[in-house]
Amino acid sequence: MKTLKVIIVIVFIFTEINVFGQDPSFSQFYNNQTYFNPAFVGIHGGMMANLTYRRQRVNIPGRFETAYFNFDSDLSCINGLGEIGISAFRDVEGMGYLKNTGVNLMLSTRNFLSSNTFVQFGTNISFIQQTADFSNFIFSDQYDEINGFKNYSEFKYLTDKKTIFPDISFGFVIKGGDGPRRGLFNSN
């Protein structure tokens, strides 16, 4: 079993996968650890809930806002279980024309290297919906040098573009010093 874990870690480290994406901007990323690395799920011991809301560029037209909710728990005291978490986010950019909405299930497992040092591996399975409403965009061919703004564009777009896709991510954390013990209900 230990050999299998080592092989899986080596495969993840040396595997090259081309990915494309845009994540929401969080000014205090340390408060959203599980969004960036699923291995942080349950790392503090016990249960933890987090709600983050950010609105950027409030003085310009349009909305740039992000909301993120996370709940995770350390269930390592129950035999055979590790840490589990759920989260959801919504990111709106520019008058609501670009929207990302996602729901995540995060799982992690902890392996102790010594009495107070451990490595924690995590995975995040997400379903994300991206929406773009092209009917409200203004394209460069809608401006005329003589007449100014015109109400039509040559750009061909769908009336409402929605895409739903899965997203999987992996991570690990090594933590030493004072931290959670082997189980949630241990008093040591």
Longest dimension (CA), the chain: 78
Position 158 scores a pLDDT of 59
What does the pLDDT look like over 69-80, one tens digit per residue? 999 988 766 665
Which tokens in the block code for residue 57? 């560029």
Residue 150: its pLDDT value, please?
A: 67
Cα(63)–Cα(89) distance, integer angstroms: 16
The pLDDT value given to residue 188: 43
Task: List per-residue pLDDT tens for the chain, 188 residues long.
Answer: 678 778 877 877 777 666 666 667 677 777 788 888 888 888 877 888 989 888 887 787 777 888 999 999 887 666 656 788 999 999 888 776 788 899 999 998 888 888 888 888 999 999 999 888 776 677 777 777 777 766 666 666 655 678 888 888 899 998 887 655 544 444 44
The gap from C-alpha 88 to its chain's centroid, in whole angstroms, comes to 8
Please tell me the predicted confidence (pLDDT) of residue 124: 92
How far from the centroid of its chain's Cα atoms is residue 120's Cα? 18
For tokens 């899986």, the residue is: 8
In this structure, are residues 44 and 70 in contact, taking their beta carbons and an 8 Å threshold?
A: no
Query: Which amino acid type is present at position 91?
Result: D
Q: What angle do CA 158, 162, 58 make, to 5 degrees?
A: 95
Backbone φ, ψ for residue 170 (5° rounding): -130, 155
Q: State the pLDDT at residue 132.
A: 80
pLDDT in the model for residue 99: 87
Are 34 and 3 within 8 A, CB to CB?
Answer: no
Cα–Cα distance, 67 to 170 (Å, whole number):
22
E strand spans, the chain: 47-56, 64-74, 83-93, 98-112, 118-132, 143-144, 148-149, 161-175
